[in-house]
Amino acid sequence: MTTIEARRSAHQFDLGPARALVCRECGNEVPLAAEFACAECFGPLEVGYDFGKITRAEIEAGPRSIWRYRNLLPVPSDVQEHPNTDPGLTRLVKADRLAAALGVRKLWVKDDTGNPTHSFKDRVVAVALAAARQLGFTVLACPSTGNLANAVAAAAARAGWESVVLIPSSLERAKVLTTAVYDGALIAVDGNYDDVNRLATELAADHEDWAFVNVNVRPYYAEGSKTLGYEVAEQLGWRLPQQIVVPVASGSQLTKVDKAFRELGELDLVEPTPYRVFGAQATGCSPVAAAFQAGHDVIQPVKPDTIARSLAIGAPADGPYVLDTVRRTGGSVEHVSDEEVVDAIRLLARTEGIFAETAGGVTVATAKKLIESGQLDPDAETVLLITGDGLKTLDAVEDKIGPRATVPPSSAAVREALGL
Ligand SMILES: *Cc1c(COP(=O)(O)O)cnc(C)c1O
Ligand SMILES: [Zn+2]
């Protein structure tokens, strides 16, 4: 028995309501462990639960973070006592001016730029860290398109863990520096994200005390995305929206928002009203949109070429489940050009005072396209997920925006520049 096996078998896992890992393809159940693929059919494993009775009042009385939903997550009941980044409970903004610009009546923006490292990835990493601690790991690791690198490096620093973060060497400067500052081991790889991801899978097999958040502890990590769905419902006054637009990289987030809505209905925390889920991709990396539009069930991998680097996964692991979700709920998957992405970043900023990264531009531009093509009902309540901060992708907008004029320090010169 290796040290880590000994440590793990000596340890009583407390993963709260989590019961087992369940294969998404064949339903095979295995005990909770650091596994991600079914031994029977190689299908992806997902956390299955035995939920107790959960009430709205209990949740509302909980911490002002994702831990208010701890009884719906694979984390111990005392999770908030361990050092973590405690993300979540970001604002849900009623976006009336954006709604008017897009020609819809009831629109909300879920502003996940407000998380500790300014993207929704803090949610998934916080859950992965909490589960990895229970599973006996000591190092937090990941392959990343950028936001995950930030979140892993910060969470590891806060927990006093070592981190190993692998990124494509072409990543935005801001995302490199905002990871490196936490002083973990950051390695830039000459290759694209899919190369980096393959490398991580190889390394995970050899380093048994490294928790690669999105590889060997992926089933737990992925559950963190459910908190976006829970928060949207709670913040709407314990109701489900009628339509939601979600950006798609690996596709995990989209499927988990749907899982959250279904769980809330099953647990009587909301009325199980119908909702439609829409996926958003950039044209330069739109394998899921292409499969949806062609009516296919399998995803043809692509080589990404888009400014939306946080969504640039050419071989999305959860792509087929995104197709299932949007087809079952009556939604769709659309894609938008890089130019539309930049225009949409500026539209959101101009109308709501929210500066989103390129992934947010993808969501807003896709919503616009879905409205124009009649796929989104302009009278139905719609939520857009804005998952990352524009300060991370300044390069996408720097050629388009800037001061109106540079003038000498005189009020006459300012008035002249303003055309007064
Ligand atoms: C990772 C990421 C996503 C999508 O995540 P998946 O679950 O892999 O589809 C969306 N937005 C931002 C900003 C991200 O970093
Ligand atoms: Zn299976």
User: Does the pLDDT value for residue 171 go beyond 90?
Assistant: no
Ligand 2 midpoint to CA 262 (Å): 22
Ligand nearest to the Cα of 386, by number: 1
Q: Is 133 in the pocket of ligand 1 (CB under 6 A)?
A: no
Looking at residue 173, what is its pLDDT? 85
Q: Is 123 in the pocket of ligand 1 (CB under 6 A)?
A: no
CA of 22 to the centre of ligand 2 (A): 8
Architecture of domain 92-118+222-396: 3-Layer(aba) Sandwich (3.40)
pLDDT of residue 65: 98
Give the pLDDT of residue 10.
Answer: 45
Instruction: Tell me, in angstroms, the distance from the centre of ligand 2 to residue 44's CA.
Output: 7
Q: Give the mean pLDDT of 362-376.
A: 98
The predicted structure's pLDDT at residue 175: 87
pLDDT at residue 263 tops 50: yes
Ligand 1 in reach of 147 Cβ (< 6 A): yes
Mean pLDDT of 95-112: 98
Confidence class for position 174, pLDDT limits 50, 70, 90: confident
- Is the distance from CB of 311 to CB of 359 less than 8 angstroms? yes
How far is residue 311 from each of residues 257, 342, 355, measured CA to CA in Å?
Answer: 17, 15, 17
Q: Is the pLDDT reported for residue 4 higher than 60?
A: no
Confidence band for 341, pLDDT divided at 50, 70 and 90: very high
Q: Whose CA is nearest to atom 12 of ligand 1?
A: 387
- Nearest ligand 1 atom, CA 214: 8
Cα separation of 300 and 288, whole Å? 8
Q: What is the pLDDT of residue 192?
A: 85
Report whether pLDDT(69) > 80: yes
**Cβ of residue 125 lying under 6 Å from some atom of ligand 1:** no
The string of pLDDT tens digits covering residues 288-311 is: 999 999 999 999 999 999 999 999
How far is ligand 1, taken at its centre, from the CA of residue 121, in Å? 7
What is the average pLDDT across 272-300?
98
Note the ligand closest to the C-alpha atom of 112. Answer: 1
Spatial distance between the Cα atoms of 76 and 3, rounded to a whole number of angstroms: 23
343 C-beta neighbours (distance < 10 Å), count? 17
pLDDT at 345: 98
What is the pLDDT, as a whole number, of residue 116? 98
* Residue 164 β-bridge partners: 141, 185
User: Domain boundaries in the chain?
Assistant: 92-118+222-396
From residue 51, alpha-carbon distances to 48, 61, 134, 390 in Å are 9, 18, 19, 38
Residue 413's CB is within 10 A of a number of other CB atoms, namely 13
Given this model, what pLDDT does residue 1 score?
44
What does the pLDDT read at residue 5? 55
Q: What is the mean pLDDT of residues 231-242?
A: 98
d(CA 114, CA 129): 20
Q: Is 117 in the pocket of ligand 1 (CB under 6 A)?
A: no
Query: Counting ligands in written order, which one lies closest to the CA of residue 43?
Result: 2
pTM of the model: 0.96
Q: What's the pLDDT at 193?
A: 84
404, 414 contact by CB (below 8 A): no
Q: Whose CA is nearest to atom 14 of ligand 1?
A: 310
Strand runs (DSSP E) across 248-401, as ranges? 276-282, 333-336, 382-386
| Residues β-bridged to residue 280 | 247, 334
Q: What confidence category does residue 6 fall into, taking pLDDT thresholds of 50, 70 and 90? A: very low
Q: Which atom of ligand 1 is nearest to the CA of 119?
A: 13
Q: What is the C-alpha to C-alpha distance for residues 347 and 256, in angstroms, rounded to an integer? A: 28
pLDDT grade, residue 194 (50/70/90)?
confident
Mean pLDDT of the chain: 95
How confident is the model at residue 12, as a pLDDT? 66
Quote the pLDDT of residue 172. 80
- What share of the chain in percent tops pLDDT 70? 97
Does residue 249 line the site of ligand 1, with CB under 6 A? yes
Nearest CA to ligand 1 atom 5: 249
The ligand whose atoms approach the alpha carbon of 311 most closely is 1
**Strands 18-23 vs 45-49: parallel, antiparallel or unpaired:** antiparallel
Q: What is the mean pLDDT of residues 72-84?
A: 97
